[in-house]
Amino acid sequence: MKDTDLEILDLSYRDFLPVFDHLSAGVIVVNRTGRIIYYNDAMARIDDVDRREALHRLVTEIYELTPETSMLMQCLRTRRPIIDRPFYYRTRMGRVANTIHSVYPLFKNKSLKGAVCFVRDYNVLEETLSQVSIPRAKENLGNNTRFTFSSIIGKDPEFLRAVNTGMMAANTPSPVMLYGETGTGKELFAQSIHNFSDRKTSRYTAVNCAAIPENLLEGILFGTSKGAFTGAHSKPGLFEKASGGTLFLDELNSMPVGLQAKILRVLQEHRVRRLGSFKEIEVDLKIISSVNRQPHTAIAEGSLRPDLFYRLGVVFIPIPPLRERKTELERLIHHFIRKHGRALGKQVTGIAPEVLDIFKDYHWPGNVRELEHVIEGALNLVGQADTIELDHLRSHLPTWYRMKNQPSTPDSYFPEPFAAHTPGAISPEGGESSADPGEHPSKPPGRRGKNLIKTQEDREKRLILKALQTHQGNVTRAARSMGISRQLLHYKMKKHEISRAEFV
C-alpha cells in the first residue's frame, strides 16, 4: 500500500491494517471513489486474484459488478453499513464465489473517506460450523462422513454402473480409484463406499493431495518422531490414524512423484515408518484415491507413477461428467431447489422453460457442483417468485459477451463455453464462429450438426494452442488474452489433451 493511500484514511489506520493480513476472512478497503487501497491474502484466495493486481483498481474492474450491484459501492452511496449479507458474485477472471459480506463506511471528522468490506467464504464457514455443530443422523457413527449411496442422485446407465461398481467394491480389501472431472462427486462416492462397507463404524479420513504443500504432506501422511527435524515431536500420521478405516487420497496425481514411491511401499508392506524413526507400524486400511485427469495421460506427463496406478487402480471407477448426463438435469435441478430452498426459506417449485433449454445446451464444465451453485445463487435472487427465471441468473453467470459490451441475448446469460458451442457465436478473437465453408445447409441436420461441433472443437483447439504459444505456456496470460477464466482454460486444455509443458 502506498503512503498516499493511507493518507486518505486516518493515520491511525496504519497501526491496525497489518492485523488484517492474518485474518481468515477476506478484507477489502476502498477509498471514496471505490478504488481498492487494501486487499488481504485471504481475499486473494477467495477471488483467485493476485493481490498486487487488485490494488489501486476500481472494484468494478475486478468483479463482474456494477455500481448498483456492488455492496462496497452501495455502502459508499448510502453511507450505511451492510451486515452479514449473503452474496454470490463472479470476478472478471471467471472465479465464482458464494460469500457473506459485511461492509462499513469509514469516516474522518464526519467526512466519508472510504469503506471496508469483510468477506467470509460460505463453503469454508459451512465446513467450520459442521465441525462444532451437533452431528446429524448420518454422522452419529462419528466416522467423519455425511454421504451414503442414498445421497447420490442419478438414473443414467453409465452413472448407475459407477454406483454399482462402488457398492461391489466396498467390502473387498482392494483399493478403489475414482476418475472424474472437477465437480462430478468423487468425494461423495468415496464417502458412500466407506459407509457401505464393514468399516463404516471406523473413521473415514480424506486428504487433498493438491492442497497441502509438498514439504508438509509427507509428515502429515507418515507422521514424525521426536528429533526428526528441528522442533519435531512424536506424532502419528494419517496412515496410522486411519488404520482400521478408510483413507481417501484426493487428487492423487497432484502428489509429488517422490512421495508416490513411498506410498507404494506402504501399500505393499502394510507398514508405515514415521519420519526420523526406524520402527515400522502395521496399518490396516481401505485406500480410495481419485484423479482428475485420465490416468494414462497423467502417467505420460509424469505426474502419476504407473506402478502406483496399477496398485491403486485395481477397481477403477470413471464418473461421467454432467454433459453426458443431460437427461438427469431436471431431476438434479429439483433436488437442489428443494435442498437450498428449505435453507433459504424459498417456495420455488421449478425453473422457467427457457432456463431449462439453456441449461440443456450448456456443457457444464464445473459439472454437478456448478449446477448446484447456479441454483443456490438463483434462489438468493428470486424474491417472492416461485420460478427461477433468466433474470435470476444474471448476477452469477455473466458472459464473455457482456464483458465485451455485446448485445444481450439468451447466450449472454452464460459464459463463453455455452456460446462456443452455439452456431454463429462470437469467438474470443472477435468475428463470427461458423461451420466449415464446405458444409451446405441442405445437408441432413444430424450429419451437419456433427460436422459443426467437430469444426468448432478443432477451431477452439487451434485458438488455445495459439494463445499458449504466444504466452510461452503461461496459462493465466493465455486465458486473459482469450477473455476466459484460468479455470476454464485448464478445463479446455484437459479436454483437448494439451499440456502447457509443450510451450515452456
Residue 328 within any structural domain of the chain: no
Identify the pLDDT of residue 39: 92
112 located within any domain: yes
86 lies in the same domain as 159? no
Strand order in the sheet with 246-250: 204-208, 246-250, 286-291, 176-179, 315-318
Task: Measure the CA dihedral 156/157/158/162, to 10°.
Answer: 90
What per-residue confidence (pLDDT) applies to 448? 40
Do 236 and 111 share a domain, yes or no? Answer: no
Claim to verify: residue 13 and residue 141 sit in the same structural domain: no
The band of 357, judged by pLDDT with boundaries at 50, 70 and 90, is: confident
Whether 119 and 138 map to the same domain: the answer is no
How many domains does the chain fold into? 2
Q: Which amino acid type is present at position 109?
A: N
Task: Please check whether residues 145 and 36 belong to one and the same domain.
Answer: no
Residue 195 and residue 262 in one domain: yes
- pLDDT tens digits, 322-349: 999 989 999 999 999 999 998 888 889 9
Is 469 inside a domain boundary? no
Residue 358 domain-assigned (yes or no): no
Considering the domain architecture, whether residues 287 and 179 belong to the same structural domain is answered as yes
Q: What is the pLDDT of residues 155-164, one digit of tens each?
A: 888 999 999 9
Q: Are strands 176-179 and 111-121 parallel, antiparallel or unpaired?
A: unpaired
CA distance 264 to 226: 25
* In a shared domain, residues 14 and 142: no
Whether 98 and 187 share a structural domain: no
Among residues 320, 336, 366, the one where a domain terminates is 320
Lowest average pLDDT, out of 140-154, 209-223, 373-387, 423-437, goes to 423-437
Q: What is the pLDDT of residue 332?
A: 95
Q: 15-63, pLDDT tens digit by residue?
A: 567 778 878 789 999 999 999 999 998 898 888 888 888 999 999 998 8
For residue 274, give its domain range: 134-320
Same domain, 180 and 302: yes
What is the DSSP track for 397-436? ---HHHHTTPPP-GGGGS-HHHHHTSTTPBPTTSSB----
Q: Has residue 358 got a pLDDT over 70?
A: yes
Whether residue 172 sits in one domain with residue 300: yes
Q: Which of these three, 94, 123, 152, is where a domain ends?
A: 123
CATH of the domain at 52: 3.30.450.20
384 assigned to some structural domain? no
Q: Are residues 117 and 32 in the same domain?
A: yes
Amino acid letter, 94: G
Beta strand 235-236 with 246-250 is unpaired
Domain membership flag for residue 288: yes
Q: Which residue has the cell 487451434?
A: 462
**Looking at residue 268, which CATH number applies to its domain?**
3.40.50.300
**Within a 10 A sphere around the Cβ of 67, how many other Cβ atoms?**
14
Coil, strand, or helix at residue 136? coil
Residue 206 lies in a domain: yes
Q: How confident is the model at residue 377 (pLDDT cuts 50, 70, 90)?
A: confident
Q: Which of 269, 286, 320 is the last residue of a domain?
A: 320
Asked if the structure places residue 147 within a domain, the reply is yes
The amino acid at 85 = R
State the pLDDT at residue 10: 47
Confidence of residue 121 (pLDDT cuts 50, 70, 90): confident
